[in-house]
Structure 1
Amino acid sequence: MLKQLTSLVCISLVVLNALAHNNGLALTPQMGWDTWNYYGCSISEQTILDAAQGFIKYDLPKYGYNYVVMDDCWQAPARNATTGAPIADPTKFPSGMKALADQIHSMGLKFGIYSSAGMYTCGGHFGSLGYETIDAQTYAEWGADYLKYDNCYNEGQAGTPKLSYDRYANMSFALNATGRPILYSMCNWGEDGPWNFAPTIANSWRISGDIYDNYNRFDERCPCLSMIDCKLAGYHCAMTRIIDFAAPVGQKAGTNHWNDLDMLEVGNGGMTYDEYVTHFSMWSILKSPLILGNNVLNMTNETLEIITNDAIIAVNQDSTGSAAERMWKVPVFSGGDLSSWSGSLVNNTFVIALLNTSPETQYVTVNFTDVFIDQGPSYQTGTYVIYDLWQKDSAGAWGKDIGTYTAAIPDVEIGMHQVRIWKAVPASTNSRRDLAEL
């Protein structure tokens, strides 16, 4: 009998671990919006409802955006004194969290909430360390569909992958035990190399310190030159620095477990149009979750154009789940660098990117020997129909056919802080169908 009971416990633990990340969610990178980048702690019930109305106003669900995530500072001053359950600030959220979630759901959207794997959140409110079970149960009862789980005030329970794994796994198992599908977004800033342990417990994990709305400024508060073995992830990480951080770890992500490059800054005003195009494009081809961080109730035409480029979004949401890889990177004399990226898509098609972080226009030949280094000689000498994903065709659809090329795309002009993104379709299989079908 004891032997049978022991076997049953072992089987249960195996099932629990299997379910911890394989929860049927984030089969492609999640898409939505989060309060933090634009509102910080200045949030309320109305803030969340207004954002949801913005989703409807701009038809964002049509493009795949569906999570409305409430970040830090929603909490009351203290937990329930009797049960220990989390309580929302009654002044900011007078209707309560369940009522708020119900309203979000009634709009056809999903509701996300925030906590920290520490004694306190980054905003100084109560965290979930030691309260994982009651918090997960409460979030499920409220109707949460998403948890962003931060890393502040972690009581020193970090410094090795095992310490971080154990702390974050506690919430993973608690969420799965509720029986409600809740997407688990780990936000431990790349500490202890989450790409090595988080795929078994989370749907996504942050790979770096916090982004800020800047293209390439070096800031000592984001001190690491690489996230591999970084000892202080920090914050105030410029957008292109996070791209560099992401380059080597794309191999660690895939279906329902993604490298998170942090929330998008598109529309917040700190970068130019071309820089925001780069931001959105690179997050997309690197298969980061696309979580908007701007004011979605009132967007400029330029911002809306960028975040609704369905050809770029299709690359992010491609079912192969394969992040683009950097093929080469070379410094430019005037500063910055040029880099080439490529990745596989469905139906034997490919995405190709050229990134110019230098302050001057560059002219580059994109050789297929570099693009198809993993595919071999027949691909490297092949002929492809090339679609420019930031040009519109005669019907107004993103992804203009710019011609057929063999072995290279010659003499590409790429401006200061620009990106060029193409889709390559082998000419022998191209049938002039809509890009979404390829």
Structure 2
Amino acid sequence: MKTIQSHILSGALFAVATNALKNGLALTPQLGWNTWNSFGCDLNETVILDTAERIISLGFKDLGYEYVIIDDCWSAGRNESGYHIADATKFPNGIAHVAGKVHDLGLKIGIYSSAGTMTCGRFEGSLHYEKQDAELWASWGIDYLKYDNCYNEGEEGTPKISFDRYNAMGKALNATGRQILYAICNWGVDGPWNFAPTIANSWRTSGDLANVWDRDDVNCPCAEMEGLDCKLPGWKCSILNVLNKAAYYPSKAYPGAWNDLDMLQVGNGGLTDDEAVAHFSLWAAVKSPLLMTNVMTKIDAKTLSILQNPAVLAVSQDPLGSTPSRRWRYFVDDSGKYGHGEIQLHTGPLSGGDQLVLLLNAASKPREMNATLVDIFWLNGAEGTADQVQQSWDVYDLWGNRMSDEAAEAIIKASSSSSSANRTAGYNLEAMGGSKKVYSQTPSASSKMLMGSKVGTVRPSGTVKVHVPAHGVAMLRLRAKNQKDEL
């Protein structure tokens, strides 16, 4: 393994004895694409490279999406020295070759394994092989590890046991001298939000997300379902199930360490347009990583316009890195059944003194919703006395300038018929200085791309009132209004 040895030596100056949180990565939630939801084990070199090309040609890279992640089923076992061998049928040129091609496009590449003896697809896991696997991935040029929890030999049951198992890989990644984003995927077992922020860049909060809005399912139980244990991780979890489980620990996340509500289901069918908009909005608001999983070569206009809304992405990538708190959640029907007929308010600060307000209508009928400034700024001071309540605020709808279907279709057509160099840009953030630079600054009120559309002003001690579709959200940005402007 001479290539591994030389890689370690060349990176020795970078390697430090520190935890994964201090690797300088994921200072805002990671953006990218993952193979699993659309391809499962049917992934290969062509899938990866075709997707990477489309991420460029469709303009996703300009908006900050940068990781292309190979999920499960890539391994063909280990060689006599104990190092992974990539499946030669799926990756005839090797994963290092694929990584190089992805890097040539200006993107980064991720890999998958499990903190067990096997992965969830029953391929070779990494338990007790952490050092060898981390060395190999670094030698391939890997930039991201998704680390699952299958077949873990019973090494769970307390936070300390889970911490030790996942910390072993975090240390191994750091020891390679390569910056590798570390995404723990243990499904919320043993409360990773309590131990993972010191060893990883993100951690899954619950079971696998399905492309369904709301469904009571014994495969993904929660406490409100009689006789079932909410602590079980589950799978086939609905959007509301996952959201409601994650609502209790927003304070655990901060720049470099994020609650992960699982990969996006936008564009995979199963959701209405309003549900897909709400899903994307909620994940961006709560600072979950935004990992697309749709088939990029078959993307449609509505999916593109959702995933490329820069005003919503600006909330996700806001440099303040604050996760909003859920102020209230009400049941509004008579059934009392978990997950049906509920309304929610999520609110929190953004950079520059702005405030995020997200009103969720999970019920099956559209609704006029409102939130007082007291509700919105409740966490800023004693109820009704926060300074923010005593001033006026301009209200911006972050979906007010959603890309039209016609514009999205033009981008898709150009991407399919021409090289990335000749693509048609959707929202040309690049012309404004590049997505990273744009997101690191508080947007000006004149920026329709990053502020959406102004829909009104709320007066001191007043109330924000909006119409919210069924299974939908209103996602608003509030900006303090200069009192002189009102005269």
Answer whether TM exceeds 0.5 for this pair.
yes
Corresponding residue of 1:344: 349
Q: Alignment partner for residue 367 of structure 1, among 372, 380, 389?
A: 372
1:28-78 superposed Cα distances (whole Å, 9 cap, x missing partner)? 0000000001111111111101110110121101111000000000011x2
DSSP-derived class of the 2:344 partner: strand
**1:383 aligns to 2:392 (yes or no):** yes
1:197-236 map, 5 Å: 197-225=195-223, 230-236=230-236
DSSP-derived class of the 1:391 partner: coil
How far apart, CA to CA, are the structure 1 residues paired with 2:64 and 2:283? 15
Cα offset, 1:262, TM superposition = 0.2
How far apart, CA to CA, are the structure 2 residues paired with 1:313 and 1:429? 29
Contact 1:31 1:289 in 2 (8 A): yes
Corresponding residue of 1:253: 253
1:256-293 superposed Cα distances (whole Å, 9 cap, x missing partner)? 00000000000001100000000000000100000001
Corresponding residue of 2:456: 403
Corresponding residue of 1:99: 97
1:330-353 superposed Cα distances (whole Å, 9 cap, x missing partner)? 101164201111011111111001
How far apart, CA to CA, are the structure 2 residues paired with 1:193 and 1:38? 28
Corresponding residue of 1:291: 291
Higher mean displacement: 290-299 or 305-314 = 290-299
Corresponding residue of 1:175: 173
**1:132 aligns to 2:186 (yes or no):** no
Contact 2:20 2:182 in 1 (8 A): no
Corresponding residue of 1:80: 79
1:149-189 superposed Cα distances (whole Å, 9 cap, x missing partner)? 00000000001000000000000000000000000000000
Unaligned runs of 5+ in 1: 1-14, 432-438
Corresponding residue of 1:7: none
Contact 2:38 2:293 in 1 (8 A): yes
**Pairs aligned (count):** 414
Supply the AA of the counterpart residue of 2:107. L
Cα offset, 1:298, TM superposition = 2.2
How far apart, CA to CA, are the structure 1 residues paired with 2:347 and 2:296? 31
Higher mean displacement: 376-385 or 116-125 = 376-385
Cα offset, 1:363, TM superposition = 1.7
Cα offset, 1:395, TM superposition = 8.7
Contact 1:17 1:200 in 2 (8 A): no
Corresponding residue of 1:153: 151
Cα offset, 1:381, TM superposition = 2.9
Q: Alignment partner for residue 477 of structure 2, among 423, 429, 436?
A: 423
Cα offset, 1:224, TM superposition = 2.4
DSSP-derived class of the 1:392 partner: coil
1:235-266 superposed Cα distances (whole Å, 9 cap, x missing partner)? 01001111101111111000100000000000
Corresponding residue of 2:427: none
- TM-score by length of structure 1 reads 0.91
Cα distance change on mapping 1:429 and 1:351 into 2, 3 Å:
farther
Supply the AA of the counterpart residue of 2:293. G
Unaligned runs of 5+ in 2: 1-14, 335-339, 403-445
Aligned-residue sequence identity (percent) comes to 47
How far apart, CA to CA, are the structure 2 residues paired with 1:18 and 1:85? 25
Contact 1:20 1:200 in 2 (8 A): yes
Cα distance change on mapping 1:331 and 1:304 into 2, 3 Å:
same
Corresponding residue of 2:54: 54
Cα distance change on mapping 1:117 and 1:410 into 2, 3 Å:
closer
Contact 1:53 1:297 in 2 (8 A): no
Corresponding residue of 2:331: 331
Supply the AA of the counterpart residue of 1:426. A
Contact 2:20 2:201 in 1 (8 A): no
Higher mean displacement: 95-104 or 371-380 = 371-380
Cα offset, 1:409, TM superposition = 3.6
How far apart, CA to CA, are the structure 2 residues paired with 1:203 and 1:430? 44
Cα offset, 1:318, TM superposition = 0.5
Supply the AA of the counterpart residue of 1:343. G
1:372-411 superposed Cα distances (whole Å, 9 cap, x missing partner)? 0022322123210111001029996461011211133454
Contact 1:330 1:339 in 2 (8 A): yes
1:26-41 map, 5 Å: 26-41=26-41
How far apart, CA to CA, are the structure 2 residues paired with 1:383 and 1:374? 18
Supply the AA of the counterpart residue of 1:173. K
Structure with the bigger RCO (C-alpha within 8 Å, sep 6+) is 2
1:295-334 superposed Cα distances (whole Å, 9 cap, x missing partner)? 1222111000000100000001001111111001110116
How far apart, CA to CA, are the structure 2 residues paired with 1:17 and 1:412? 51
1:125-151 superposed Cα distances (whole Å, 9 cap, x missing partner)? 000001000000000000000000000
Supply the AA of the counterpart residue of 1:390. W
Supply the AA of the counterpart residue of 2:352. N
How far apart, CA to CA, are the structure 2 residues paired with 1:429 and 1:353? 25
Contact 1:111 1:145 in 2 (8 A): yes
Contact 1:190 1:207 in 2 (8 A): yes
Supply the AA of the counterpart residue of 1:342. T
Cα distance change on mapping 1:430 and 1:304 into 2, 3 Å:
farther
